[in-house]
Amino acid sequence: MKPQFTHFTSSPLLASKTPLWRSKLVVLVFGIAFAGLGARAAYVQVIHQSFYQRQGEIRFARTLEIPANRGRLLDRGGQMMASNVPALGVWAIPEDINSSLQSHPEKLPALAKLLGLRVPELQQKLAQEDRSFVWLRRQMDASLGSDIQTLNLDGLYTRVESRRQYPEGEAAATITGLVNNDGKGIEGIELAFDQALSGQSGSRRVIKDRMGRVVEDVGDRVVPVDGQDIHLTIDNKIQFFAFQKLKEAVIDQRAKSGSVVILDVQTNEVLAMVNYDAASGKTNPMRNRALADSFEPGSVMKPLTISLALERGIVTPKTTFQTAPGYITVTGSKITDSHVHGVLSVEQIIEKSSNVGTVKIAQQIPYKDMWAFYSLVGLGQKPALPFPGAVGGRLRAYQSWRPVEQATMSYGYGLSVSLFQLAQAYSVLANDGELVAPRLIQSDAPATRERVMSAVHARAVRRMLHLAAGPEGTAPKAQVDGYTVGGKTGTSHKQEGRGYAAKKYRSTFVGMAPIDTPRIVVAVSIDEPSNGKYFGGEVAAPVFSQTVGQTLRLLGIQPDRAVKPQIAIKSVEEST
Amino acid sequence: MTFNLRLSAPLRHGLIINLVLIAMVLVTAMLLVRWQYTSRNLFVALEKSEAASRQLAGHHASALAEKRQLTSPARIERLASENLGMRAIAPPVTVYLTQP
């Protein structure tokens, strides 16, 4: 039986047969549309794939810097002298935050307090409405971040950054130096070793979603290389005690500033280098005066002149000179002693610090020899220390010297040196005539040594220095309980304009201890003491004495001089 | 109305295979989307953990710096002299022992 088809309608319109071309047209239109889509897909994904991928990345991919950690500064015992800690930078969009503060004016004082600013200061920063970015405070304590967010102010943002922390504070500030807000070294060791300390930042390419979250890494990461730690030769305890004694002396003597340098004789490592500025009431980390300030050293130069005379065979320690009537005239210029001493041996010339005696010895030395010796011990040239701003002082070429200049240079006028250079020059005497290259950074490489004078003559000059620091010398206050010391005072007038200031002095003392087998050289300089005393033996020698005592104790050096014990010792039997 | 669709056996098998393949494609596509979502969530979690790790490292550095500050010679000397009445030792009040 054939199936029966039912007519659903009797409408002639529906009953009419659809023309075939219409369905073909629809198929064709759809076909073209799909072909167009297919072609576009092929164009986007195959032909111009890299272009569209790049465009997509531009919109969502970001390159993030992975900062390297800045290296630490460590002292000779591995104690931290500088390290990075997390900090916070707070910035604002003035227009946004101002409108937010208008509706919540009570939040302004709270924000100012958190930022450590006064309200007018903060208002002044926020008044720059033409700018879209203003730093409100940088390198804040990171723990304040949540308090700032609690304020919930529009247009107020924080950024994580790092801050350099110096646990030793001002005691080591002139050595460590400092970094700027961006963590770049701008002074001291921070500047000298900025590249090594900074390391190498890394980077990563990431995709961020619309919330700003990193959702995918693109490509390889460039791993950051952290900065190296720098191991200094400084001993933080010696540094602190030297700073403490210097600060006390500068304040007591109402001086302008002062510096102390302590060298380990065996290695010529710098154990401490401290500076104190009374004007600012603290240490200026931008100026290491021991290295950056040069001055006319005065009588501390005499042992160097006499060392050369001994070395050239011009005198022996017992050779005598007539220093009466207490002055000598050199090409019309009168050079005087503070007292009339009469006949003095070379040893006594140092002990009494006779200018006349020293000039008479120096007059027998050729200019060239004197210049060469001063240069050999490091005067007139920058110390071989990796420290920015270190000066070489002034030592004119011998060809231009005149007799009076040679005479004044022999006792420390007419040339200039830094305190560090003086310490280095005296280290030759302490090292039995060898100049050992100074070090501020620890190294396993053996120190370079150069013989400058014979050991016999170096020891002879040390004996003279011992006399100078003895009861009959110019610096009995340099003596230290339990240890033998030797050194030389210097009291020089300060230059002012074209001449010398009548009442402005620089008091210096450079010496070493224990005197037979020196372990340390200590140089002290006090600038413009104005509390009535100004002689090196009165002002600088006591600082030397206190510093030497503490330093030798900290180094564990047994006393080489008998002391009267102030404690009762009860013998006990050893138990088994 | 009834349809009586009669297909030959090979055609019927082909159709079944196609349907299975389409289903598999759909399932794997959905799984792919799901895994990508999970992977991104994990990545975000990893990022958070790394940030937390950096923060902890920062706290550690701060703690070390604080410890160093608390043990600095300046502070110890001040506390010893002010609170405990101590003074720096000197040779007259030191007993030096000689190693036998």
**A565: nearest CB among B59, B62, B92:** B92
**A215: nearest CB among B43, B89, B94:** B43
* Contact check, Cβ <8 Å, B95/A567: yes
* Contact check, Cβ <8 Å, B91/A483: yes
Q: What is the dihedral of CA A468, A470, A471, A472, to 10 degrees?
A: -30
pLDDT given at position A252: 94
3-state secondary structure at position A432: coil
A85 vs B: CB within 8 A:
yes
3-state secondary structure at position B76: helix
**B93: nearest CB among A84, A142, A567:** A567
B50 vs A: CB within 8 A:
no
Nearest-Cα distance to chain A for B48, in Å, is 10
pLDDT given at position B27: 97
Specify whether the CB–CB gap between A453 and A377 falls below 8 A.
no
Candidates B53, B68, B69, B71, partner chain A, best to mutate (most A CBs within 10 A): B68
pTM assigned to the model: 0.83
* pLDDT(A112) > 80: yes
pLDDT given at position B97: 76
A169 vs B: CB within 8 A:
yes
Q: What is the mean pLDDT of chain A?
A: 90
* Contact check, Cβ <8 Å, A142/B62: yes
Q: Name residues 229-248 of chain A within 8 A of B (Cβ).
A: 236-237, 240-241, 244
Kindly give, in sequence order, each residue whose CB lies less than 8 Å from that of residue A174, ignoring residues fewer than 6 positions away: A188, A273, A274, A275, A283, A284, A285, A287, A288, A289, A290
pLDDT given at position A9: 55
Q: pLDDT grade, residue A569 (50/70/90)?
A: low
Give the pLDDT confidence of A275-329 residue by residue, as tens digits. Answer: 999 877 777 888 899 999 999 999 999 999 999 999 999 999 999 999 989 999 9
* Prior bond of A325 cis (ω within 30°): yes
B77 vs A: CB within 8 A:
yes
CA A264-A270-A276 angle, to 5 degrees, is 125
3-state secondary structure at position A385: coil
3-state secondary structure at position A526: strand
* Contact check, Cβ <8 Å, A216/B64: no
pLDDT given at position A214: 80
3-state secondary structure at position A322: strand
The per-residue b/e assignment along B80-93, b for 16 or more CB within 10 angstroms, e otherwise, is eeeeeeeeeebbee
Candidates A69, A80, A139, A221, partner chain B, best to mutate (most B CBs within 10 A): A80
- Chain centre distance of CA A193: 10
* Contact check, Cβ <8 Å, A215/B64: no
B45 vs A: CB within 8 A:
no
* pLDDT(A130) > 80: no
Give the pLDDT confidence of A211-221 residue by residue, as tens digits. Answer: 777 888 888 88
Give the pLDDT confidence of A526-548 residue by residue, as tens digits. Answer: 999 998 888 889 999 999 999 99
pLDDT given at position A399: 93
B90 vs A: CB within 8 A:
yes
Q: pLDDT grade, residue A1 (50/70/90)?
A: very low
Give the chain A residue whose CA is nearest to the CA of B55.
A86
Burial group, residue A363, by CB count within 10 angstroms (0-12, 13-18, 19+): middle
Specify whether the CB–CB gap between A307 and A461 falls below 8 A.
yes
* Contact check, Cβ <8 Å, B65/A83: yes
* Contact check, Cβ <8 Å, B69/A215: no
Candidates A140, A207, A214, partner chain B, best to mutate (most B CBs within 10 A): A214
* Contact check, Cβ <8 Å, A80/B96: no
* Contact check, Cβ <8 Å, A236/B77: no
Q: pLDDT grade, residue A387 (50/70/90)?
A: very high
pLDDT given at position A525: 96
pLDDT given at position A11: 66
* Contact check, Cβ <8 Å, A167/B55: no
Q: What is the dihedral of CA A513, A515, A518, A519, to 10 degrees?
A: -30
Terminal C-alpha separation, chain B: 120
Give the chain B residue whose CA is nearest to the CA of A569.
B95
pLDDT given at position A36: 96
Residue type present at position B20: V
Specify whether the CB–CB gap between A83 and B64 falls below 8 A.
yes
Round to whole Å and give the CA distance between A559 and B79: 28
Partners of A481 on chain B (C-beta within 8 Å) are 90-92
**Choice among A100, A162, A257, A299 that is catalytic:** A299
Which token pair is A145?
């971040």
ipTM rounded to 2 decimals? 0.70
Give the pLDDT confidence of B51-97 residue by residue, as tens digits. Answer: 899 889 888 988 998 898 898 888 898 899 999 999 877 777 877 77
Burial group, residue A499, by CB count within 10 angstroms (0-12, 13-18, 19+): exposed
Residue type present at position B40: R
Give the pLDDT confidence of A37-49 residue by residue, as tens digits. Answer: 999 999 999 999 9
Residue of B7 and A237 predicted with greater confidence: A237
pLDDT given at position B51: 87
Q: What is the mean pLDDT of chain B?
A: 86
Lowest mean pLDDT among A366-370, A512-516, A540-544, A568-572: A568-572
Lowest mean pLDDT among A202-216, A264-278, B40-54: A202-216
A324 vs B: CB within 8 A:
no
Question: How far apart, in Å, are the Cα atoms of A572 and each of A332, A569, A575?
Answer: 73, 9, 9
* Contact check, Cβ <8 Å, B90/A565: no
Kindly give, in sequence order, each residue whose CB lies less than 8 Å from that of residue A564, ignoring residues fewer than 6 positions away: B92
Q: pLDDT grade, residue A199 (50/70/90)?
A: very high
A299 assigned to active site: yes
Which token pair is A324?
């009466």
pLDDT given at position A5: 52
Average of per-residue pLDDT across A512-528: 96
pLDDT given at position A13: 66
Range among A153-157, A453-457, A559-563, B90-94 rated most confident: A453-457
Kindly give, in sequence order, each residue whose CB lies less than 8 Å from that of residue A73, ignoring residues fewer than 6 positions away: A80, A81, A82, A83, A176, A189, A190, A197, A229, A230, A232
Nearest-Cα distance to chain A for B7, in Å, is 21
Residue of A131 and A107 predicted with greater confidence: A107
Candidates B36, B43, B49, partner chain A, best to mutate (most A CBs within 10 A): B43
Q: pLDDT grade, residue A576 (50/70/90)?
A: very low
Q: pLDDT grade, residue A10 (50/70/90)?
A: low
**A481: nearest CB among B47, B55, B91:** B91
Q: What is the dihedral of CA A237, A238, A240, A246, to 10 degrees?
A: 160
Q: Name residues 136-165 of chain A within 8 A of B (Cβ).
A: 142, 162, 165
pLDDT given at position A575: 46
What would the DSSP string read from start to end of A226-264? PPPPEEBS--HHHHHHHHHHHHHHHHHTT-SEEEEEEEE
**B92: nearest CB among A85, A241, A481:** A481
Give the pLDDT confidence of A408-453 residue by residue, as tens digits. Answer: 999 999 999 999 999 999 999 999 999 999 999 999 888 889 999 9
Question: How far apart, in Å, are the Cα atoms of A258 and each of A166, A275, A528?
Answer: 21, 6, 9
Partners of B89 on chain A (C-beta within 8 Å) are 553
pLDDT given at position A58: 81
* Contact check, Cβ <8 Å, A80/B68: yes
